Chain A
């Protein structure tokens, strides 16, 4: 039985109709990858998501696409999964 870690997820900003960025606490088994969480998200929203326009960051640092399978989450991490748009 793997140890569990607590992670905060910030999700939304325009993904699957969720316009606010909503914070939630996740209890995840140690070794959970970013992709694992995205798969979970996909199951919850039950809608296709265009991941190319989603900003995925851990503690504010962008996670490149090819690292999603390998990058694991750690205790206390803040995972951002939000719709990214241009501007400035």
Chain B
């Protein structure tokens, strides 16, 4: 609660996948959805796209199950960090994560998880519609309250967004 994390508003996601492309570039130097720490869940017949990435759980299941202590956070920044030398690729973290935000890095054979890009997430920077923002959780709730109240007060059709 005291740190910023990536907030997702799927209603305005247009499904461009730029988040996946820049994430893989930042971390691996190449363009590859499979090497991205943020992944789009797509429902093509409904043109629905929902970005999913590490939710920065208060009680991270992935860290709890890791047998070697590879899955950890940097105590100074709160950003997730996989210590590659310690990771044995047991995949317990992938099984434990309830939202599917952890995946195996096919290049390195170790787990990968969103590390917030040293404080300035590339996916947030590139997102053209603001479906991804970088902020504190109480900011999200506050924004939602205001937005909904505005809708009610000023009679705009709710949930209608381009």
A and B touch in the complex (CB under 8 A): no
